[in-house]
Every structure is written in C-alpha cells, then in structure tokens.
C-alpha cells in the first residue's frame, strides 16, 4: 500500500479507462441502457477522472471509454473540468487533430471540449 502510494505520487501520466456501458463494443450501440445505470456510471467515471487529475505530479491524463453515450464521454470531461479545483489548472487538448469524428456539443459541453474529444461511433 505504501509502495502504491509512492508510485501514484510520482506518476506524470495517467490513462483513465473506467467501467462504462460498453455501448461501443457491439453492433447495437444504443443498447437500451437505463437512464439510472448511465447516471451511476457517469458519476463513477467523474470520480475516477477527478482522482487522476489530483495526482500531485501528473501532467497528462487521457480519458477513454468504449461507450457511445455522450453522458459517459464529453459530459464527464465537461463536468470534471467545471469543478473549481480543476477549472484553473487543467485544460483539454485536441487529440488526433486529423481524426474526422469529434465530440458532440450540448448545453453542458462547450465546442472546445467537443473538438478535443475523439469519437469512433
């Protein structure tokens, strides 16, 4: 446990690949996931991403799911980056600039965050 804490304190890069609805792993991308299940998954994903951003030496965090649901992707990133402890210290960068499919905007997701997200659905 002490060794794990020491490694976490030194980490400069973190890949966050949290549990998700798996909606992007099968042909029926809109898998009928219940609203409540998606809400609970998104809350867990927000906690996981927030935890990664709080590592003391971390400089880069990549957030990735196999979900096609905006609630588990763009909305998670937007929600976490809107928290006061992260809003002034973290920004999103456009990943894979030549990739044609970008994130989706919404009432809670800015165009900047959407452009910084990659979609394959």
Show which residues are catalytic. 66
Residues 6+ apart with CB under 8 A from 66: 20, 22, 23, 24, 25
Start-to-end C-alpha separation, the chain: 39
DSSP-derived secondary structure letter, 102: B
How many angstroms separate the CA atoms of 91 and 110, rounded? 12
**How is residue 109 written in tokens?**
């997701």
């Amino acid at each position: 446990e002490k060794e794990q804490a020491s490694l976490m304190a030194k980490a400069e890069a973190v890949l966050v690949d949290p549990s998700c609805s798996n909606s992007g792993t099968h042909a029926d991308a809109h898998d009928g996931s219940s609203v409540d299940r998606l809400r609970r998954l998104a809350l867990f994903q927000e906690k996981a991403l927030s935890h990664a951003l709080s590592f003391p030496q971390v400089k880069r965090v990549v957030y990735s799911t196999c979900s096609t649901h905006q609630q588990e992707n763009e909305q998670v990133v937007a929600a976490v980056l809107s928290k006061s402890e992260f809003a002034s210290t973290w920004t999103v960068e456009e990943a894979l600039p030549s990739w044609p499919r970008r994130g989706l905007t919404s009432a809670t997701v800015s165009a900047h965050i959407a452009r910084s997200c990659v979609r394959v659905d």
